């Protein structure tokens, strides 16, 4: 009964030192970057699916004209190309959604790290304020993109 | 599961996993081979084959479900006029070999005549007989039956019958080249198209899952 409950990350935020907070931020940014790259790669594959299809269709026609195979095989290959193209587009639904969770987890670590700085009374006031504002911006960004799929910032 | 791999080995295995996923379509297509049953040879028949089946070029073959016969037939010899039919073995055996090949009940097939730049739909035809002379070349696909230019698989025993005539005055020989192949139903390419991506995904998972686990642990230990 006298056992103390294991402290969670949230319990530790007010007592977080600079080293821990920095580690959270660096790890968070690393995770967010990794999953962000995966997300962008997946989006790029989906966006270029039609370009790949044009190349594959042309190769298929050229092989047919060369007499490498007959019409029914040409049609089969053409159907395969269409299926692969559809998968290239659809994979974004699976991969981008998984990657999106990863990016949010990364942002959450950055948020915790920034909150660690913001609640550290051994750091000067202005730095703490900036960290609090940044943490707020990050959590607002996360909440907006979670709740509104089309939320975006346009810098022109 | 902890494989205790060093960073270099992990990176290599990860690259192999990704490479397997990427090269699957290429390797699958490259190994999508057919089985040659009759090599391309210069065949010779007599022009009496127009009147009697026994004088014609006869080759038997068997089709299983979803298997396709491919015939490449060409005539590049002077005065040779050649006709090709594919018939059911039952019908072939029931017909007197002194009858003309035209009495045989011919099966439907699909064939292509190639022309570069033309829409493939305009290069395909379907019939139960092809007639060749003067450098003609046909790529024939046969599965037992067809609807339009699409093939229908009807497994069974069949016979290729080629007969023809010499259009010259003094010669009776009819020459042509023929090559036949069986395609499918499954070959190494089809099997690799399934095995390679699964192997790639397993390799990636074996490397990434422990790494993610380590990352989560390290974050919790901060």
Supply the CATH number for residue B44's domain.
2.60.120.380
Contact A72/B68, CB-based, under 8 Å? yes
> Which residues of chain A have a CB within 8 Å of the CB of B115?
65
Let me know: does B145 contact B126? Beta carbons within 8 Å: no
| Distance (Å, whole) CA A87 – CA B26 | 16
Q: What is the pLDDT of residue B55?
A: 93
> The whole model's pTM is what?
0.74
Interface contact B91, partner A, CB < 8 A: no
Q: State the DSSP string of B5-31.
A: --HHHHHHHHHHHHHHHHHHHHHHHHT
Mean pLDDT of A5-24: 78
Q: Is the dihedral of CA A86, A65, B147, B33 positive or negative?
A: negative
Do B107 and B17 share a structural domain?
Answer: no
Q: What is the pLDDT of residue B138?
A: 92
Closest CA–CA distance from residue A33 to any residue of chain B (Å): 14
Please list the residues that pair with B48 across neighbouring strands. none
Local confidence band at A57 (pLDDT 50, 70, 90 cut-offs): very high
Local confidence band at A11 (pLDDT 50, 70, 90 cut-offs): confident
| Distance (Å, whole) CA B80 – CA B57 | 14
Do B97 and B44 share a structural domain?
Answer: yes
Mean pLDDT of B86-93: 94
The CA-atom distances, in angstroms, between A95 and each of A30, A145, A149, B17, B215 are: 18, 17, 16, 17, 20
Range of the domain at A79: 24-147
Contact B114/A23, CB-based, under 8 Å? no
Do B151 and B94 share a structural domain?
Answer: yes
Pick the more confident residue, A145 or B203: B203
Interface contact A146, partner B, CB < 8 A: no
Asked, for residue A5, whether it belongs to a domain, the answer is no
- The torsion of the CA quartet A77, A83, A87, A88, rounded to 10 degrees, works out to 50
- Model confidence at A156: pLDDT above 70: no
The CA-atom distances, in angstroms, between B193 and each of A72, A114, B65, B188 are: 20, 48, 20, 8
Interface contact A61, partner B, CB < 8 A: yes
Q: What is the pLDDT of residue B33?
A: 64
Q: What is the pLDDT of residue B219?
A: 67
Asked, for residue B219, whether it belongs to a domain, the answer is no
- Model confidence at A6: pLDDT above 70: no
Q: What is the pLDDT of residue B183?
A: 86
Q: What is the pLDDT of residue A1?
A: 44
Q: Which residues contact A95 (CB under 8 A, 6 or more apart)?
A: A38, A39, A42
Asked, for residue B127, whether it belongs to a domain, the answer is yes
| Distance (Å, whole) CA B124 – CA B136 | 15
- Model confidence at B32: pLDDT above 70: no
Contact B116/A75, CB-based, under 8 Å? no
What is the pLDDT of chain A when averaged over all its residues? Answer: 87
Q: What is the pLDDT of residue A4?
A: 54
Let me know: does B82 contact B73? Beta carbons within 8 Å: yes
Closest CA–CA distance from residue A61 to any residue of chain B (Å): 7
Pick the more confident residue, B153 or A9: B153
- Model confidence at A151: pLDDT above 60: no
The per-residue pLDDT for range A100-136, each reduced to its tens digit, is 889 999 999 999 999 999 988 888 899 999 999 999 9
Let me know: does B31 contact B195? Beta carbons within 8 Å: no
Let me know: does B17 contact B201? Beta carbons within 8 Å: yes
Task: Name which of A86-95, B112-121, B213-222 the model is least confident about.
Answer: B213-222
| Distance (Å, whole) CA A66 – CA B118 | 12
Say how many domains are in chain A: 1
| Distance (Å, whole) CA B130 – CA B73 | 10
> Which residues of chain A have a CB within 8 Å of the CB of B197?
none
Please list the residues that pair with B111 across neighbouring strands. B125, B140
| Distance (Å, whole) CA B36 – CA B41 | 12
Q: What is the pLDDT of residue B211?
A: 78
Say how many domains are in chain B: 2
Instruction: Provide the strand spans (E) within chain B.
Output: 35-46, 57-63, 68-75, 80-88, 109-112, 124-127, 130-133, 136-142, 144-147, 150-153, 156-166, 173-183
Q: What is the pLDDT of residue A153?
A: 63
Asked, for residue B22, whether it belongs to a domain, the answer is yes
| Distance (Å, whole) CA B102 – CA B91 | 12
Closest CA–CA distance from residue A151 to any residue of chain B (Å): 29
Mean pLDDT of B139-166: 94
- Model confidence at B4: pLDDT above 90: no
Q: Look at the block and give the residue holding tokens 């003067």.
A: B134
Range of the domain at B123: 35-185
Best CA proximity match to A100, nearest among A29, A26, A40:
A40
Contact B112/A24, CB-based, under 8 Å? no
Do B74 and B18 share a structural domain?
Answer: no
């Amino acid at each position: 009964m006298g056992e103390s409950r294991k402290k969670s990350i949230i319990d530790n935020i007010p007592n977080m030192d600079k080293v821990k907070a920095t580690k959270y931020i660096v790890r968070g940014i690393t995770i967010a970057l990794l999953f962000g790259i995966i997300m962008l790669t997946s989006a790029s594959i989906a966006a270029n699916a039609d370009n790949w299809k044009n190349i594959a269709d042309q190769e298929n026609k050229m092989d047919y004209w060369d007499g490498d195979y007959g019409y029914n095989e040409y049609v089969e290959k053409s159907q395969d190309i269409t299926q692969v193209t559809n998968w290239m587009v659809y994979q974004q639904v699976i991969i981008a959604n998984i990657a999106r969770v990863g990016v949010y987890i990364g942002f959450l670590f950055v948020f915790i790290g920034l909150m660690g700085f913001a609640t550290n009374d051994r750091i000067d006031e202005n730095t703490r304020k900036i960290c609090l504002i940044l943490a707020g911006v990050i959590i607002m960004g996360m909440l907006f993109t979670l709740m509104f799929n089309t939320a975006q910032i346009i810098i022109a | 599961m902890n494989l205790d791999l060093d960073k270099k080995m992990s990176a290599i295995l990860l690259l192999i996993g990704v490479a397997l996923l990427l090269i699957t379509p290429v390797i699958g297509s490259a190994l999508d081979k057919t089985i040659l049953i009759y090599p391309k040879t210069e065949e010779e028949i007599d022009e009496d084959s127009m009147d009697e089946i026994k004088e014609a070029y006869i080759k038997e073959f068997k089709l299983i479900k979803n298997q396709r016969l491919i015939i490449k037939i060409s005539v590049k010899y002077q005065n040779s006029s050649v006709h090709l039919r594919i018939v059911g073995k039952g019908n072939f055996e029931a017909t007197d070999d002194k009858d003309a090949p035209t009495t045989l009940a011919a099966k439907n097939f699909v064939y292509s005549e190639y022309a570069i730049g033309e829409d493939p739909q305009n290069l395909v035809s379907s019939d139960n007989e092809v007639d060749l002379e003067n450098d003609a070349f046909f790529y024939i696909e046969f599965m037992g039956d067809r609807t339009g230019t699409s093939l229908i698989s009807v497994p069974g025993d069949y016979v290729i019958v080629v007969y023809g005539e010499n259009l010259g005055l003094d010669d009776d020989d009819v020459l042509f080249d023929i090559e036949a192949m069986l395609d499918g139903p499954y070959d190494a390419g089809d099997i690799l198209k399934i095995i390679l991506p699964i192997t790639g995904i397993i390799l990636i998972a074996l490397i990434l899952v422990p790494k993610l686990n380590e990352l989560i642990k390290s974050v919790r230990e901060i």
